[in-house]
Amino acid sequence: MSKTTEHRPLFSLALLRDATIGAFIKLNPEKLIRNPVMFTVGVTSAMASLITLCEAATGKSYSFSLQIALWLWFTVLFGNFAEAVAEGRGKAQADSLRKTKTDTTAKKVDSIGAKDFTPVAATTLRRGDLIVAEAGDIIPGDGDVVHGIATVDESSITGESAPVIRESGGDRSAVTGGTRIVSDRIIVEIRANPGESFLDRMIGLVEGAKRQKTPNEIALTILLVGLTLIFLIVCVTLQGLAAYSGKMVPVIYLIALFITLIPTTIGGLLSAIGIAGMDRLVNFNVIAKSGRAVEAAGDIDVLLLDKTGTITLGNRMASEFIAVGGATEESLAEAAMVSSLTDDTPEGKSIVRLAEDRFKWNGGARHKPDMNFVPFSAHTRMSGVDFGETSIRKGAPDSILYMCGTSGSVEITRAIERVAKTGGTPLLVALNKRILGVVHLKDIIKPGIHERFMTLRRMGIRTVMITGDNPLTAAAIAAEAGVDDFLAEASPEKKLALIRSEQAKGKLIAMCGDGSNDAPALAQADVGVAMNTGTMAAREAGNMIDLDSDPTKLIEVVMIGKQLLMSRGALTTFSIANDVAKYFAIIPALFIGIYPSMNALNVMHLHSPKSAVLSAIIFNALILIALVPLALKGVKYQPASASTILRRNLLIYGFGGIIVPFIAIKLLDMLISQTMGI
């Protein structure tokens, strides 16, 4: 992870205490059955306990059975504990989310124009209700601003302290329940019924209680159940084979064999991995509406990114004055600066700043009271200033040329083209209808974005930039930023068509967007990340919401998705690989009574059948608890090709999974035989 918003310790004392209690509560069969592998261990533990009781009641020696039974119960408890820890960490997140859901009173109104409001509890609000919120109020639920403009403090959910503007219409109309109005007054139409808001969904996901299993998790669970059944057949028929061979095996030994063979390690950690993954996502200030979407993020083939605000800084900056037709650079700069003195747009400010830097002027000092500034309008597509006899205009080339009544000299055309080719936006400046030259407004590529795209390429993800620019400009920016492809002059229809055509090729598409016109594309994409600043429509259409409104965060989401799958795969491999050593520990122990020559299979030279079985079962329980931190943190993921990742993980979890238990079981056996003398 290249970026984390906070570093939390894996465990805290309170968390451990709660999780320990939780581990016992989860012994309830109704809860346990959600996890078939651990349920099997639970049932088997009960059987072992029963055997112990029978032995005790009939006066036989029961200490060995008792130890097996205890370690089996520990195995179940450790699995429960892992889940409880993950849930506890999720719950801490949920609690902080829930804090924002304090029982506010909503000011319900009948219509936009209504003067009076009725105070009602926020929880009674339904979709379509209108409420009014004024400075100091907490917004009672998710919705869209339908009237007015206000500054809103969203720090409760984003952690970002600067208030943001929310206004009706446009792309900044969505408000989230739990945020606070800083100034002004807005009317909000509620868009979510109680319990359905994003926060509610997220709380459900991180708490784990209502967590739906994701598709890959279901598939893996089926495989694990299959393995459990195979080993059940193996162990039950083993008694038959032993009976034929001359001597039945004590049932407690068979139970031990069964439990060590079935994939308890991954079975016990499976849900913890899932919950921890969600938790990591929330930690990144991303809210997923379902676990499925997070998993799908790991599969993404193509990533569609808006240029503005994602690849480039939102604003274009003046970077160069290109004088033409005999005008000097200085005269061009002066005209451009004076015309921009009251221009509050970032572009206008950047022109002033560039002229000041270039010629050491003081722009403010040039401001004269008789100056009559002409603001930019979409109609004229130019702005400027008039004072005395002087009239300066700056604006889109075709508009300025039209105003000047010329089609432009070759020199002008060349200058315009030069700017466009490098991905910039040309701005023509005319003094008294005489063209002085071109201001180069440059798109500034976000620092570090190039590296991020390299990372994505290593992960096998193709990036496509979406922009409203013309193809020439788009190509230049795409090349500079290092994206693989671009879609120029993009309209909502074009975006949708692009997604559909990629999907038809079998690819999985992620996109992020904020505007209402992005909603269809967000809904069509396999992973749609809506910006929290976006409209309600966009937020409804996407399956994730980024509270920080940082589109490049998709990279982290993809990583979390991949990590989730990798952790499951790695622990499954580890779990199965462990069985080799366990077999070599237990099989000779079981059969040495029938065939003394079977001791040749006791490759670890374990002390006695009892110590061998006990070592295996203890290893099986301890490895589960030892791997809890790994399950919570996830397997390390570094962007690389699939082969590289596989080689690394196979070596650690596959090969390691075969070796580690041989060593650990031998050590445990030495310990047991020394201390307990069995």
Partner 1 sequence: MNIYALLQFVAFAAVSVGLMLPLGIYMAKVFNGEATWAGKVLGPIEGLSYRLCGVRGAEQQNWAQYAGAVIIFNALGGAVLFLILMHQDQLPWNPQGLPGLPYDLAFNIAVSFVTNTNWQSYGGETTLSYFSQMLGLTVQNFMAAATGFAVAVAMVRGFTHKENPGLGNFYVDVTRAIFYVLLPLSLLFALFLIWQGVPDNLQPYVQATTLEGTQQTIAQGPVASQIAIKMLGSNGGGYFNANAAHPYENPTPLSNFFQLISILLLSIGLIAAFGKMVGDRRQAWALLASMTILFMILLGLCYFSEANGNPAFGHLNIDQIISDTNSGGNMEGKEVRFGIFNSALWATTTSATSNGSVNAMHDSFMPLGGLVPLFNMLVGEVIYGGVGCGLYGILLYVLITVFIAGLMVGRTPEYLGKKIEAHEIKLAVIAQLLYPICVLGFGVVSLLVPLGASSMSATGPHGLTQTIYAYASAAANNGSAFAGFNGNTVFQNIMLGIVMLIGRYGVIIPVLAIAGSLAAKKITPPSSGTFPTHGLMFVVLLTAVIVMFGGLTYFPALALGPVAEHLSLFQSVAP
The residues assigned a catalytic role are: 306
Shortest reach from residue 162's CB to partner 1, in Å: 36
Our CB check for partner 1 shows the closer of 364 and 506 to be: 506
Four-CA torsion 154, 159, 162, 163, nearest 10 degrees: 0
Shortest reach from residue 454's CB to partner 1, in Å: 12
Cβ burial of 4 (10 Å; 0-12, 13-18, 19+) is exposed
Our CB check for partner 1 shows the closer of 301 and 356 to be: 301
Shortest reach from residue 562's CB to partner 1, in Å: 3
Shortest reach from residue 553's CB to partner 1, in Å: 18
Angstrom CA distances, 641 to 632, 637, 644, stand at 24, 11, 5
DSSP E strand boundaries for 279-366:
286-288, 302-306, 312-323
Let me know: does 601 contact 588? Beta carbons within 8 Å: yes
Shortest reach from residue 505's CB to partner 1, in Å: 6
Please name every residue paired with 384 in a beta bridge, in sequence order, or none if there are none: 374, 393
Our CB check for partner 1 shows the closer of 67 and 228 to be: 228
Amino acid at 345: T
CA distance 648 to 177: 45
N-term to C-term CA, the chain: 48
Shortest reach from residue 654's CB to partner 1, in Å: 7
Retrieve residue 237's tokens: 């028929």
Shortest reach from residue 617's CB to partner 1, in Å: 17
Shortest reach from residue 260's CB to partner 1, in Å: 11
Our CB check for partner 1 shows the closer of 117 and 583 to be: 583
Shortest reach from residue 557's CB to partner 1, in Å: 13
Our CB check for partner 1 shows the closer of 177 and 298 to be: 298
Region for 605 from its dihedrals, namely left if φ exceeds 0, alpha if ψ lies in -120 to 50, beta otherwise = left
Q: Under DSSP, is residue 188 helix (H, G, I), strand (E, B) or coil?
A: strand
Residue 218, H or E segment: helix 215-245
Our CB check for partner 1 shows the closer of 10 and 219 to be: 219
Our CB check for partner 1 shows the closer of 218 and 676 to be: 218
Backbone angles phi, psi at 437, to 5 degrees: 160, -165
CA distance 136 to 529: 30
CA distance 46 to 50: 6
Contacts of the segment 154-163: beta carbons below 8 A, 24+ positions apart: 154/179, 154/532, 154/547, 156/99, 156/100, 156/180, 157/97, 157/100, 157/199, 157/532, 157/547, 158/285, 158/532, 158/547, 158/548, 159/5, 159/285, 159/547, 160/548
Backbone angles phi, psi at 391, to 5 degrees: -135, 120
CA distance 163 to 166: 10
- C-alpha closest to that of 443 among 418, 478, 477, 475: 477
CA distance 608 to 614: 10
Buried b / exposed e along 408-446 (16+ C-beta atoms within 10 A): beebbeebbeebbebbbbbbbbbbeeebbbbbbbbbebe
Q: What angle (nearest 5°) sits at the alpha carbon of residue 222, between those of residues 220 and 225?
A: 110
Shortest reach from residue 663's CB to partner 1, in Å: 20
Our CB check for partner 1 shows the closer of 349 and 648 to be: 648
Please name every residue paired with 429 in a beta bridge, in sequence order, or none if there are none: 394, 437
Please name every residue paired with 510 in a beta bridge, in sequence order, or none if there are none: 303, 527
Let me know: does 172 contact 533? Beta carbons within 8 Å: yes
Let me know: does 298 contact 569? Beta carbons within 8 Å: no
Shortest reach from residue 596's CB to partner 1, in Å: 8
Backbone angles phi, psi at 51, to 5 degrees: -60, -45
Please name every residue paired with 435 in a beta bridge, in sequence order, or none if there are none: 430
Backbone angles phi, psi at 570, to 5 degrees: -65, -45
Our CB check for partner 1 shows the closer of 21 and 243 to be: 243
CA 321 to chain centre: 43
Our CB check for partner 1 shows the closer of 99 and 647 to be: 647
Our CB check for partner 1 shows the closer of 223 and 396 to be: 223
The alpha-helical segments, DSSP class H, found in 33-126 are 36-57, 63-99
In sequence order, what are the residues at sequence separation of 6 or more whose Cβ sits closer than 8 angstroms to the Cβ of residue 119?
105, 106, 107, 108
Shortest reach from residue 608's CB to partner 1, in Å: 19
Q: Are strands 434-445 and 425-431 parallel, antiparallel or unpaired?
A: antiparallel
Our CB check for partner 1 shows the closer of 53 and 232 to be: 232
Shortest reach from residue 301's CB to partner 1, in Å: 6
